[in-house]
Amino acid sequence: MAPPRLFLASSNPVKLREYRELAGESPVQLDLLPGFSGFPAFDEDAPTFAENSAGKALHYSQFTPEMVVADDSGLVVPALGGAPGIHSARYAGPGASDADRVQKLLREMQGKEGDDRRALFVCVVTLARTGRAIAITSDYVEGSLIHEPHGAHGFGYDPIFLCPALGHTFAEASQSEKNNYSHRGRAFRKALGLFLSQQIP
């Protein structure tokens, strides 16, 4: 009997590898959505992670009869009114690097100490089939922003996000450590559990 299949709404093999690692030994076949780059692009311009995640999954699920998984995630800093939030990937403007975004955030955090440096990584994962949302799950990991980057792994804001459970930044964590604690890992495992338990049609 063939394993259940999920198509990732992406053409990025690095993201596929991450999702396969998050799935672990789960009996699911994860693949990139065939023909993804040829489909009309989905513009992630909604005001919430949930709307962007669901919108993306609904959009790309129109092009296959199989289940599609999509996510939206970002860093939320309460002391900055929730920024970077949904703009995490483009916080420093078009064409900016991860290092540019980190440096902009550190500038914004100058003078802030203690609880004002609290931050959360948030992720919302949506499963959709043929234009219908099947499951939406979310989770987060709470930590704090340190004053300068540490670590050479990960991406985005990982070098300045200190995870208390690990005792170091996400960029200093091994991939398996990060998978265990990350917002995306937690949200995706919830969705995968629903999918595999046949609680969804």
Residues 60 and 90: beta-carbon distance below 8 Å: no
Residue 78 domain-assigned? Answer: yes
How does pLDDT run across 62-99, given as a tens digit for each residue?
Answer: 999 999 999 999 999 999 999 999 999 999 999 999 99
Residue 176 lies in a domain: yes
Residue 107 lies in a domain: yes
Helix (H, G, I), strand (E, B) or coil at 125: strand
Does residue 120 sit within a domain? yes
* Cα–Cα distance measured from residue 4 to residue 50, given in angstroms and rounded to the nearest whole number: 25
Residue 195, C-beta contacts closer than 8 angstroms, at least 6 positions apart: 4, 6, 28, 67, 127, 135
User: 141 lies in a domain?
Assistant: yes
* Residues involved in catalysis: 72
Q: Tokens 């990584």 — which residue?
A: 121
Q: What is the tally of structural domains in the chain?
A: 1
In a domain, 31, yes or no: yes
Each residue's pLDDT tens digit, 30-64: 999 999 999 999 998 999 999 999 999 999 999 99
Looking at the whole model, is its pTM more than 0.75? yes
Distance CA 169, CA 189 (A): 22
Residue 19, token pair as written in the block: 């999702």
The whole domain housing 30 covers: 5-196
Domain annotation covers residue 201: no
Dihedrals φ, ψ of 80, to 5°? -105, 20
Q: What is the CATH number of the domain that holds 175?
A: 3.90.950.10
